[in-house]
Amino acid sequence: MIAIETHGLTKEFNGLIAVDNLNLKIKKGELFSLLGPNGAGKTTTIKMLSCLLNPTHGKIRILEYDAVEQPYEVKKVIGVSPQETVISEFLNSWENLELIGRLHRMDKKTIKERSKELLETLGLMERAKDPVHKLSGGMKRRLSLIMALIHDPAILFLDEPTLGLDPQSRRAIWEYIRKFKGEKTILLTTHYMEEADQLSDRIGIIDEGRIVALDTPERLKERYSKKKVVLVEGENIENVKGKYTIDNNRLVIEDGDIKGIVERLSKEGVIIKSIKTEEPTLEEVFIEITGKELRE
C-alpha cells in the first residue's frame, strides 16, 4: 500500500528548477530519507508534499487524497516538523502543544493526555511550564518534533530533524524516531549520512532537484562504494610488492581478508604497528554520486 506518491513533481522559482520531475513511491509504514546537499530540493519537496507550496507541474497523492485538490484533507493526516525550530517563544511547552492540537480540532482532554505522554518520553516534562525561550536548543528541537506528533498523524514529514544538535540530543531523537518505524510513514530529509544510514528503510539521494539514486542503505553502499579496505601502518611498507598503494604512510589494500594480509606482510619483512579495516560509508556513496564540488 502506497502512502506517498508523486508523479512528475516539478517546482520552478522564476525559471530556476528546484525540484525536477520527481517520481516517488513511499510505502505505508516506511521510513524514507531524502539525502542531498544544501539546495538540492529537499525542503521544497517537503513543502509541496505538506501543501505549503503548489507544484509547477505534477501530481501528489497522500494516502487517498490529492494534495493540490484536497489540501485540508491532507493536512489532517500529516504532521510536519519544519527545518527551523518553529515554536511560539513566549508560550510554554504545554501551550505550544495545545495550540497545534486545537488547530487539529482535538479536544482538550486528549491533547492533555497526549502532551503528557510526549513530554515525558522526550524528557521535557521537568521544564514543560517554562516559557520556550528559556529552553536549550536541543529541548526546543525535541518540542518542535513532538508538536508534529500531537495529533498522532499517519504520515510524518521531518525536515532536518537534528540539524545543529549535539551528538547526545541527536541520538535521543533518532531513538525516538525509531519507535515509529513500521507504524507511521515517515519522510525525513537530512544531509547527515549517519542519520540516513541509521534510520532509513530506503534512501533517495537527491541532487539538483532530481533523484540520482534510490535504494536501501545497504544496497547503495554495496553498489556505489569501493570494497572493504585494510589500512596498515608499519616499518618497511615501501618494500611490499604487489597491487598496493601507499597513502599518508599507510598501505592501502583493497581486500577484506585481514588474516591473509598479516601473514603475507610478515613474510615480506613488514613490522606491523597498526591495522584497521574501513567499511564503505554512505558518505562515499554520496560523494561518488553528487560529486565533490561545493553546492549552492
Piece of 17-25, 77-85, 135-143, 186-194 that binds another protein (CB under 8 A): 77-85
Strand ranges of the sheet holding 250-253, from the earlier edge strand across to the other edge: 245-247, 250-253, 229-235, 271-278
Q: Which is nearer to another protein, 46 or 282 (CB)?
A: 46
Q: Which is nearer to another protein, 80 or 203 (CB)?
A: 80
Q: Which is nearer to another protein, 96 or 290 (CB)?
A: 96
CA distance 171 to 26: 25
Q: Which is nearer to another protein, 65 or 224 (CB)?
A: 65
Q: Which is nearer to another protein, 101 or 209 (CB)?
A: 101
Is 48 strand, coil or helix? helix
Q: Minimum distance from CB of 104 to another protein (Å)?
A: 6
Which of 15, 64, 105, 238 lies at the binding interface for another protein (CB under 8 A)?
105
- Per CB under 8 A, 76 contacts another protein: yes
Q: Where are the alpha helices (DSSP H) in 130-257?
A: 137-147, 167-179, 193-199, 217-224
Which cell is 173 given? 531523537
Q: Among all chains, which residue has been given the C-alpha cell 519544519? A: 82
Which of 41, 82, 209, 217 lies at the binding interface for another protein (CB under 8 A)?
82
- Per CB under 8 A, 271 contacts another protein: no
Answer whether 245's CB lies under 8 Å from 181's CB.
no
Q: Which is nearer to another protein, 58 or 234 (CB)?
A: 58
> What residues between 27 and 56 interact with another protein by CB under 8 A?
50-54
CA distance 212 to 207: 7
Which of 66, 69, 84, 126 lies at the binding interface for another protein (CB under 8 A)?
84
Which cell is 261 given? 594480509
Distance between first and last Cα of the chain: 36
CA distance 9 to 220: 24
Piece of 86-94, 215-223, 224-232, 244-252 that binds another protein (CB under 8 A): 86-94
Q: Minimum distance from CB of 114 to another protein (Å)?
A: 15
